[in-house]
Structure formats: C-alpha cells, structure tokens
A and B are shown apart, each in its own frame.
Chain A
C-alpha cells in the first residue's frame, strides 16, 4: 500500500511543533497527524498507543463529526472532542487531507488545548504541502 509520507525536513518540523505543544501543556502526552482516510503520517507519543488504529478511528470520528454537523444544518465542524474520565482527545482538520489529534490527560485545560491545537494547525498548514 502506497501510504502518504512526509519529507525528512517536514518530519523534523512536525516533531518540533509537537515538542512545543507538550512543553506548553504538560497534560499533552500524544500528538498525531493522520490522513482523512485513516493512515498515520507522523506522531509524538509519550506513552505507547496503537497508532494505526487511532489514525483510522480519528478519520472516522472527524468524518462523523462533519456529517453530524451537516445533518444538523450546521457547517464547518472545527473540532471533535472526546472528553472522558481520563482526559481529552481533540481532533481537527489540518489542511484538506490531514487530521491533527491531540491527546491529553484529565488535568488539561480545555481552552488551552484548543489554543494549542489551533496554533499548531496554523503552523503546520503553512509548512506541509
């Protein structure tokens, strides 16, 4: 299977952005970029997680979020947030074909997570082709 890849410099840039996010909020312990159709592209995880599975799931979740918004006659789904007893999983579109997922523990500030994620998307979108 010919999966989407990013260049070495692109990978380096992504890792720098991921590291900054984790520095700005210690609650963030996973950042993942995947494709809209569920392939993993790059990640930075502080603990082990099934990256392939998460990538597919994030593709589904974001697509469902967009579809649900449409059915409810709302437009432009920005985030899909999974809030649970152990933390947050925040997913948002990164350019047309990519998805950014941020995974944080329960002590994260949701507002800060939003800001971090949106800023990261802006930076990454400018650099990734």
Chain B
C-alpha cells in the first residue's frame, strides 16, 4: 500500500498541533520545545521538528498527518515533510499582525508542492479577530489564478478538521 501523507502547516500558534490532536486516533507524536522568544507570550512550547498523527482506513491503510514547525527558520523541515505528501492544509492565525502576509509567505514557500497536489486554507482564531475580511483573503489569491478553499475553522473541533481534509481531497480529485 502506498503511504498517504497529509501535511499541516501555518503560522506558529495557528493550531497545527491541536488540529492533529483533534483527529488522530493515537496520541500525537510531538516535538515541542520551550519557546525562548516573543512567541512565549502566546505559548510556552512550540513544535521544532514535526507533529505526527494517524488515521486508519477501513482496509487497514493508514493516513499519516504531519504538522510542520511554523517558524520560517524551520523551512528545511517543510521541505523534508512534504515529500510524498498528498496535499497541504495551511492554517492562518487571524489574531496575528498581518494574516494576509502570513498566507502569502506559506503559499510561496509551498508553491511547488501546492502546484503538484492541492491546498486548503483554514482561518483560525476568528473569534478573536474578524479582520481581514474573507474577501480580502480571496483577493490575495487572485494572482494564483485559482480558487483555493478558505474555510473559517475551529481546529479544536474534529468535524472542522474533517471538513478541511474533505475539502482538500475534493480539490485533489476534482479541481
């Protein structure tokens, strides 16, 4: 059986680890370490290598969920983790200073992978900050010439994580 890998990336604190924990059958494998910079105001620990969770399909085949570190200095891990991946879930934390720039940065860095597979964008922490408007995110996508799904989600909820995965595989299948 071929390996099925889904990659979850996004800004530090956007909820990548939480999303994997919400849907993984087994307790996620984590590589959290203490934060020593400004991020410490937001969270005490951050992922420095990867998160890992899994799902088992009805025939026993596994779907692996890999969460990347969020910080750009861990870009080398992004490149390692996407190898053989089925598609990308990009989480954007809307409570940060410039979520639109954050989205751009990840889309650019994962551009080759996205071109080969697909991406769904999940906006998190919308309860804390409703701006930018959803239309602003779609306007930013204009230059990609295609419409990626942008979904407002609560990654603590399993159904929201399922929705993103379904949107991703639908995009891979039909878009």
Asked if A12 lies at the interface with its beta carbon under 8 angstroms from chain B, I say: no
Q: Closest approach, in angstroms, between the C-beta of B21 and any C-beta of chain A? A: 15
Nearest to A52 among chain B residues (CB) is B73
Which of A39, A56, A61, A96 is the most central at the interface, judged by chain B CB atoms within 10 Å of its CB? A56
The answer for the CA separation of A59 and B73 in the assembled complex, in Å, is 11
* Interface size grouping (class) on chain B: 20 to 34
Which one of B29, B36, B38, B74 contacts A60 once the chains associate, using CB atoms below 8 Å?
B74
Answer yes or no: A17 CB below 8 A from chain B CBs.
no
Neighbour of B34 across the interface among A2, A3, A37, CB < 8 A: A37
Q: For chain B, residues 51 to 83, give those with C-beta under 8 angstroms from any C-beta of chain A.
A: 69, 71, 73-74, 76-77
Contacts of B71 in A (CB 8 A): 37-38, 56
Which stretch (A19-27, A63-71, A105-113, A118-126) binds chain B?
A63-71
Contacts A36-B36, A56-B74: A67 and B30 contacting too (C-beta < 8 A)?
A: yes
A12 to B34 Cα, complex, angstroms:
25
- Closest chain-B Cβ to A63's Cβ sits at a distance in Å of 4
Residue pair B49, A3 in contact (C-beta under 8 Å) = no
- Closest-CB distance, A73 to chain B (whole angstroms): 13
Given A63-B48, A63-B49, A64-B49, are A36 and B29 neighbors across the interface (CB < 8 Å)? Answer: no
State the Cβ distance, B52 to closest chain A Cβ, in Å: 9
Separation in Å of the B65 CB from the closest CB of chain A? 15
Q: Out of A1, A3, A57, name the residue touching B76 (CB < 8 Å).
A: A57
Cβ contact of B73, chosen from A36, A56, A71, A97, cutoff 8 A: A56
**Besides the known contacts A37-B48, A55-B73, 20 further A-B residue pairs in the complex with CB atoms under 8 A apart:** A2-B38, A4-B37, A36-B48, A37-B36, A37-B37, A38-B48, A52-B73, A56-B76, A57-B76, A59-B48, A59-B74, A60-B31, A60-B49, A63-B31, A63-B49, A64-B49, A67-B31, A71-B29, A97-B34, A97-B36
Q: List 20 A-B contacts (CB under 8 A).
A: A1-B38, A2-B37, A36-B36, A37-B33, A37-B37, A37-B39, A38-B73, A55-B73, A56-B73, A56-B76, A59-B33, A60-B49, A60-B69, A60-B76, A60-B77, A63-B31, A63-B33, A63-B48, A63-B49, A64-B31
Q: Which residues of B contact A (CB under 8 A)?
A: 29-39, 46, 48-50, 69, 71, 73-74, 76-77
